[in-house]
Amino acid sequence: MSDRGDTTDGGAEDLGATVAALTADDIEPARRRQLLTRMVGQARARGISDLFKPRAAVRWMVDTVAEIAPHLPVRDLATLRQHFPGLDDDALSERLIRNAARTTAGIGAAGGGVAAVEWTVAPTLLSAPVLLAAETVAVVAVELKLVGELHEVHGVTLPSSGSQRAVALIHSWATQRGVNPMVPGVGVGAVLGTAARKELRDTLLRRFGRNLTTLGPFLTGAAVASFLNRRATRQMADQLRVDLHRRGIARPAPPQALPGPPTGT
């Protein structure tokens, strides 16, 4: 079955699986385009049909991010150490940021590839806002995963409950500050409350507006989208990292292999 045909029976679980797959940093460009195309189809199937109503697009993005955030595959510190052995905290943070920035850049390039197909047939130009909404959600998902993993590396505790953790991740992403578990209301509610939704909506609206500048025929927007996504991810992560350094728990570097016995001269 094709990816375009996967969209009629896809519910929240299917969309969440698609977004989770897009957050991986080791997928091929063709696979990323395939997943983004699938996500666009799932967005259409879920009722984002008022394509030229920005409020509808932003409301869909807010709802979708809130829905998928509790299920993002955030790796704990032990898993990160297994995936990236021998790196101290700073080097591990840098590797995670670099990989996430490459991934969001790849999503921007993939969106340009999908848009190139859309622009070849005039009636399908109407799907461009859906593509941009889907791309925005995918990029935010990558960055939310990065936020969670940077907290792990810096020893800043996140709530263990999926819904509570989602609120904490969204707040941290929107403010570019680490989670403070001592502050009431941050990461405590089981649902995304009014204040958190407004915070998320305002940040998503800025991202969506930025993505509109990448629209163009064929692949002219792909390079721009790739650059803007990479830069935005790096800026967000660098600012968050500074804050996490201030409140994190200092840990020794992981043990290195012992040198072998000296060789004879």
Span 108-143, pLDDT tens digits: 877 665 555 444 444 444 456 777 888 888 999 999
53 pLDDT above the threshold of 60: yes
Instruction: Say if residue 122 is exposed, middle or buried (CB neighbours under 10 Å; 0-12, 13-18, 19+).
Output: exposed
Q: How confident is the model at residue 14 (pLDDT cuts 50, 70, 90)?
A: confident
Residue 187 confidence (pLDDT): 40
**Comparing C-alpha atoms, which of 109, 132, 95, 78 is closest to residue 251?**
78
Q: How far is CA 189 from CA 19, 196, 198, in A?
A: 24, 10, 15
Residue 129: which residues within 8 A CB-CB, separation 6 or more? 51, 52, 57
212 pLDDT above the threshold of 70: no
Per domain, the residue ranges of the chain are 4-247
Q: How confident is the model at residue 85 (pLDDT cuts 50, 70, 90)?
A: very high
Residue 15 vs residue 94, higher pLDDT: 94
63 pLDDT above the threshold of 50: yes
Q: What is the DSSP code (8-state) at residue 123?
A: G
